Structure 1
Amino acid sequence: MTLCRLQTLLRLPVHRRQALAVKLLKRTLIQPSFNYKYIRDNADELLENAKQRNVHDAQPHRVGILYDEFRDITSQINERRSELNVLSKQLAQQAKDKGLQVNAEEHRAMMSDLRSQAKSCKTLVQELERKVSGVEAQLMHEAAKIPNLTHPDTPVGGELNARTVRIEGLLHTVDRIPNNPSDLSHLSSVEFRDHYDLVRDLDIVDMQAGAQVAGSRFHYWKGAGALLELALVQYAMTRASAAGFIPHITPDVARSSIVDACGFRPRSSAEELELDNALSGDLKAKANNQPSGEASQIYRAIPVAEESRNDDNNDSDPLCLVATAEIPLVAMKQKQILDGSTLPYAVAGLSHCFRAEAGARGRDTRGIYRLHQFTKVELVSLALPEQSQTELERLVGFQTALYRDLGLTFRILQMPTHELGASAFQKFDIEAWMPGRRAWGEISSASNCTDYQARRLGIRARVAGGDGGPPVFVHTLNATAIAVPRLAVALLESFQRPGGEVVVPQVLRPWMMGMDVLRRPASS
């Protein structure tokens, strides 16, 4: 739903605007299974949790009010339907007894009165159904804003409050390039160079062509650089497959409703505000409220042929470019009941990832450290609730083995509340030491999203040998195996030699066509 589409809504009369907003929202929101009673009964705790996670638009108390209103209207509808059912039976009986009536005029009057009552009752039911539809849409919309619960061990606050779990490697202790890659005690007189200078000298990345063709922060891998990307992908996929992850190559697009259900933001802050106002029917809200919150990092993809259309079917659930393969990997099991005995179900997905990276500036935008498009191998696991914490440990263990065998210096961080996003219950980041940047840089993360995504996507499991109760919502977990540009930065800066060459890690050489060292082209 685009901003243009929502602004069109605001020009309609209030009743039509709200009805159309409800229609569009229900069309673009997968029917979630929120526990409204839990939200209502624990509104204070959920509001405090949202504040600690730096989420400002969550209103659990409003959800509680809407839930009670929804239940009250639903009860009225059921009462009126029961009344209508009684009237229908009376009408049928009167019609059946028509020939037995002594006074025909009295019978006609009775039938007329019953029909009038039935008509009034039916009209009231229709009005209540329209009303409850609007309340239900607001209820779902507001409940969807509430972030996941938070693991009790999670540090509170922003990025600076991240807790270091451990550090592996010693490269962060030296400021000059070792003469011997395996011996940090003998250093040259040459300081580490930034990856941007290295890739230009090695002629393995073309940022200028990327900018000319697609805009700033797009790039071409070329020559040995292209082989390096393919080697990293092969390395990650081979290791993941050996560890039991089923390899996938995913779509690079997903419907807006899918992106939303996975905890990403397919709408801008302005669009969220317009939708809030349209659903509430508040004429004054547009003037009194301002967009707030972080800018969406999602790209929307709309076919050219549909851009100018302005009918109810246009742009109802537009495609978005995926920010991570986590989105299509989790969503491919939507609306399914899985066999609990087959869980955890672990997959590895290769995709291109697209991120607007709005607001990024400074040194992070230099070179390939922060791009709008990149290649990534993502790990996703669906687990039973009692399995998910163990599965998170397995994912982090897989990541650390992957980076240890590459020879990187890295640290594992337990991320604080502000860094969890909407979906994560607990999150660990892994940062590699990038000696040319003289800083740690994030290369991967791993998160346990518990049932946040599963409730929104309808992914459940039937527990084998259970008590015959209803299926349970699975827990979804995700972890980065390889995000190519970030890992390439760490490798290039870590394994550079005093003469400007870069040593290729041993584990990548099977896919580098015989290259064990990246060198300047002969023509340079």
Structure 2
Amino acid sequence: MIDLRLLREDPDRVRASQRARGEDVALVDALLSADERRRSSGVRFDELRAEQKALGKLIPKASGDEKAELLKKAGQLAADVKAADAERDEAAAETQELLVQLGNLVHPDVPVGGEEDFVTLETHGEIRDFEAEGFAPKDHLELGQILGAIDVERGAKVSGSRFYFLTGVGALLELALVNAAIAQATAAGFTPMLTPALVRPQSMAGTGFLGQAAQDVYHLDKDDLYLVGTSEVPLAAYHMDEIIDADRLPLRYAGFSPCFRREAGSHGKDTRGIFRVHQFDKVEMFSYVAPEDSQAEHQRLLEWERQWLTSLELPFRVIDVASGDLGSSASRKFDCEAWIPTQGKYRELTSTSDCTEYQSRRLSVRVRDGKTVRPLATLNGTLCAVPRTIVAILENHQQADGSVRVPEVLRPYLGGREVLEPVAK
């Protein structure tokens, strides 16, 4: 959530951010009103409580009619204090309820608009001309069947649509990707983490996934636990309710976890293959930094994503995501989109978001710098979302006979294998 002082000092900036997100601007004024009631009722409570304490000192010294009058006044004050306390609590609860509905402040350089209003910042790699090579590219599902690597039919039989098995070399390819991604992250100074897949409500809410993204979250009613859609959630909550000394920053973690998403708003999208699924594995980078360092850290995360996709020898572009497509926690987000030959377009493979102080305020994660204790900044960046990365590798590195060339970075993790060969029917 944002700083209430900033809201009071510059409400027009918050209104502009809400407008850029395409969200309700009236929420800002409702929040300002609730905050004013919270503050004024707090002052009223403090004044009445001070009067009550002063009166309490006079009563033992009084006698007769004076004491009776003071006791009568004390009774009325007690009722007034109780009412003021209730009013203060009610106003505070309303303020908090409205505050958590407000998205993070959009960075001023973010392009304004919806999903298609992004700005392309750069492109990398060469897009293959399959026609010049003399064959039409196969899609990842056909290649996965040729290689004995992907089985969506049995995935659907066992679990339903948007589930799958990775088999044989497909399973080995996932393990190779995960090991290579963790190796890169570790070399860059990240601490590898295996994170819980189930979290408590305060962890999920604290990272901002129970607002506009709640429809995509799986909830276990009996246990009141949520299945995570990304290890960003447990990594953000890892230091919940803690104060971190400034000399420990930056803290960088690379989490590996299964991820679960309902994909509630994706009916009819990417129904073929494994590009958009309900369960997948992912390696996620997560950073805790001082707020003034967040923009520089954001660029570092983006550079590590560039290095990863370049090492996989994939053509990709970097986009500056538009304001209406940021998600509530992000102030700014960059996506790296790989070229998918059979779709003839770039598709998101990795993403990195600067969440500034938004998550740390909700999760009460703070930094101690000398005598000052303040919220810190959190950032996240996908390094490898496994199924989508497999899609991009199979389609971009396929050969005419259905075999697939293995990028050099993965060969040590595949026993030196240079090519994934078709299996016998």
Aligned residue number for residue 411 of structure 2: 509
Change (3 A) 1:200 1:363: farther
Give the drift of 1:392.
1.1
Give the drift of 1:109.
4.0
Distance in structure 2 (CA, Å) of the matches to 1:404 and 1:410: 8
Distance in structure 1 (CA, Å) of the matches to 2:269 and 2:70: 78
1:131 aligned to which of 87, 109, 114: 87
1:301 aligns with 2:256: no
Deviations 1:399-424 (A, max 9, x none): 11111111111111111111211111
Q: How does 1:247-396 map to 2 (within 5 A)?
A: 247-265=192-210, 296-303=215-222, 318-396=224-302
1:242 aligned to which of 187, 195, 205: 187
1:60 aligns with 2:15: no
Which amino acid in the other structure matches residue 415 of structure 1? V
1:147 aligns with 2:103: yes
Q: What TM-score do the two structures reach when normalised by structure 2?
A: 0.95
Aligned residue number for residue 282 of structure 1: none
Which amino acid in the other structure matches residue 326 of structure 1? E
Percent identity of paired positions between Structure 1 and Structure 2: 37
Deviations 1:25-47 (A, max 9, x none): xxxxxxx7x53232133223312
Change (3 A) 1:112 1:213: farther
Distance in structure 1 (CA, Å) of the matches to 2:404 and 2:110: 38
Deviations 1:393-447 (A, max 9, x none): 1111111111111111111111111121111111110000011222211000111
Give the drift of 1:376.
0.3
Distance in structure 1 (CA, Å) of the matches to 2:310 and 2:3: 42
1:72 aligned to which of 37, 40, 43: 40
Give the drift of 1:50.
0.7
1:400 aligns with 2:306: yes
1:231 aligns with 2:137: no
Give the drift of 1:145.
1.6
CA contact (8 A) 1:210 1:218 kept: yes
Q: What TM-score do the two structures reach when normalised by structure 1?
A: 0.78
Distance in structure 2 (CA, Å) of the matches to 1:265 and 1:144: 10
Distance in structure 2 (CA, Å) of the matches to 1:294 and 1:390: 27
Deviations 1:158-187 (A, max 9, x none): 22221111111112x5243xxxxxxxxxx3
Q: Which is greater in Rg?
A: 1
Question: What runs of 5+ residues in structure 1 fail to find an aligned partner?
Answer: 1-31, 95-106, 177-186, 267-292, 307-317
Aligned residue number for residue 207 of structure 1: 152
Change (3 A) 1:294 1:482: closer
Aligned residue number for residue 217 of structure 1: 162
CA contact (8 A) 2:115 2:322 kept: yes
Aligned residue number for residue 49 of structure 1: 17
Aligned residue number for residue 367 of structure 2: 461
Aligned residue number for residue 37 of structure 1: 5
Distance in structure 2 (CA, Å) of the matches to 1:365 and 1:371: 9
Aligned residue number for residue 284 of structure 1: none
Give the drift of 1:146.
1.6
**Bigger CA drift: 108-117 or 327-336?**
108-117
1:438 aligns with 2:344: yes
Aligned residue number for residue 69 of structure 2: 113
Give the drift of 1:189.
2.1
SS at match of 1:472: strand
Which amino acid in the other structure matches residue 174 of structure 1? D
Give the drift of 1:477.
0.9
Distance in structure 2 (CA, Å) of the matches to 1:175 and 1:519: 19
Deviations 1:56-84 (A, max 9, x none): 37611111111111111111111211121
Change (3 A) 1:241 1:294: closer
SS at match of 2:209: coil
Aligned residue number for residue 273 of structure 1: none
Distance in structure 2 (CA, Å) of the matches to 1:341 and 1:514: 42
Give the drift of 1:339.
1.5
CA contact (8 A) 1:40 1:60 kept: no
Give the drift of 1:108.
4.6
Deviations 1:107-127 (A, max 9, x none): 354433333322221122122
Distance in structure 2 (CA, Å) of the matches to 1:147 and 1:427: 14
Change (3 A) 1:436 1:131: same
Which amino acid in the other structure matches residue 49 of structure 1? S
SS at match of 2:215: coil
Give the drift of 1:355.
1.0
Aligned residue number for residue 99 of structure 1: none
CA contact (8 A) 2:20 2:106 kept: no
Distance in structure 2 (CA, Å) of the matches to 1:58 and 1:351: 39
CA contact (8 A) 1:163 1:413 kept: yes
Change (3 A) 1:109 1:215: farther
Aligned residue number for residue 87 of structure 1: 55
Which amino acid in the other structure matches residue 76 of structure 1? R
1:518 aligns with 2:417: no
SS at match of 1:352: strand
SS at match of 2:381: strand
SS at match of 1:471: strand
Deviations 1:313-358 (A, max 9, x none): xxxxx32111111111111112222121221111100011111111
CA contact (8 A) 2:138 2:395 kept: yes
Distance in structure 1 (CA, Å) of the matches to 2:402 and 2:126: 21
Distance in structure 2 (CA, Å) of the matches to 1:232 and 1:110: 84
CA contact (8 A) 1:166 1:411 kept: yes
SS at match of 1:349: strand
Distance in structure 1 (CA, Å) of the matches to 2:277 and 2:234: 21
Which amino acid in the other structure matches residue 301 of structure 1? L
SS at match of 1:364: coil
CA contact (8 A) 1:40 1:61 kept: no
Distance in structure 2 (CA, Å) of the matches to 1:408 and 1:74: 58
Distance in structure 1 (CA, Å) of the matches to 2:76 and 2:45: 13
Count of residue pairs brought into register by the alignment = 425
Q: How does 1:456-495 map to 2 (within 5 A)?
A: 456-463=362-369, 468=371, 470-495=372-397
